[in-house]
Chain A
Amino acid sequence: AQSVTQLGSHVSVSEGALVLLRCNYSSSVPPYLFWYVQYPNQGLQLLLKYTSAATLVKGINGFEAEFKKSETSFHLTKPSAHMSDAAEYFCAVTPGSSASKIIFGSGTRLSIRP
């Protein structure tokens, strides 16, 4: 079975500081991994995805994530936070290319301090 665990339900950083949102996964087969962002009163939007190609994945809005099999992690980072990054972020996993159902984590709310 597949699952993801997001460490920290709420993260607060200063504008311009490094953003690090943590995600660990569990999968019995090579996984596909995703990060989604949800702005207030909106649906979820795909930030980036790992599909077994390059382990460092770049997404929209300057975000990137690195797949580390040895650590079963897929942490999301951004070098310099912007006020507009304040949102809820979801990590998600699916068991490879043949799967249809994505399993979402519980989410991490990112706040940006001026």
Chain B
Amino acid sequence: DAGVIQSPRHEVTEMGQEVTLRCKPISGHDYLFWYRQTMMRGLELLIYFNNNVPIDDSGMPEDRFSAKMPNASFSTLKIQPSEPRDSAVYFCASSLQGAGGYTFGSGTRLTVV
């Protein structure tokens, strides 16, 4: 298995632009998680899905952030409009029931200038 695949690896965008981050989970995994990592706040859980349904989005910072999972093999995290404070590394992770541990992707490093 190729693992959790995220794209792009790096994204540089101007303030106000729309940004879309993509994630392909491991085939057969039924949970998908989006995390954000910064030096100041560490790892923050933004949202997670079970069987493509959003379960908990309480970590989504504000309405500028949205996430979808149209099918079991694809998820997106969208920021519109982007702001410099959104600069961070965004990770996607998947699991077969969370208690078994997650498999993380390599992350997308987002820089908003």
Interface residues of B (CB under 8 A from A): 4, 31, 33, 42-43, 45, 48, 50, 55-56, 91, 93, 95, 97-107
A51 touches B99 (CB 8 A): yes
| Nearest CB of chain B from residue A38's CB, rounded to whole Å | 8
Which residues of the other chain, B, contact A99 by a CB distance below 8 angstroms?
A: 98-99
Distance to closest chain B CB from A81 (angstroms)? 24
Instruction: Decide: A94 and B99 in contact? CB cutoff 8 A.
Output: yes
Report the bound CA distance from A51 to B98 in whole Å: 12
Q: Is there contact, CB below 8 Å, between B99 and A32? A: yes
- Besides the contacts A49-B100, A100-B97, A102-B102, what 9 more A-B pairs have beta carbons closer than 8 Å? A43-B104, A43-B105, A43-B106, A94-B99, A100-B55, A100-B99, A101-B48, A106-B42, A107-B43
- Tell whether, in the assembled complex, residue A34 and residue B101 are in contact, meaning their CB atoms are under 8 Å apart: yes
B residues less than 8 Å from A101 (CB atoms): 33, 45, 48, 56, 98
**Chain B residue, CB-CB nearest to A49:** B101
Prevailing SS type, chain B contact patch: strand
Interface pair B98/A94, CB less than 8 Å apart: yes
Least Cβ–Cβ distance between A2 and chain B, in angstroms: 12
For the complex, give the distance between the alpha carbons of A99 and B100 in Å: 10
28 contacts between A and B (CB under 8 A): A36-B104, A42-B106, A43-B4, A43-B93, A43-B104, A43-B105, A43-B107, A44-B91, A44-B93, A44-B104, A46-B102, A49-B100, A49-B101, A94-B99, A97-B99, A98-B99, A99-B99, A100-B31, A100-B50, A100-B95, A100-B98, A101-B33, A101-B48, A101-B56, A102-B101, A106-B42, A107-B42, A107-B43
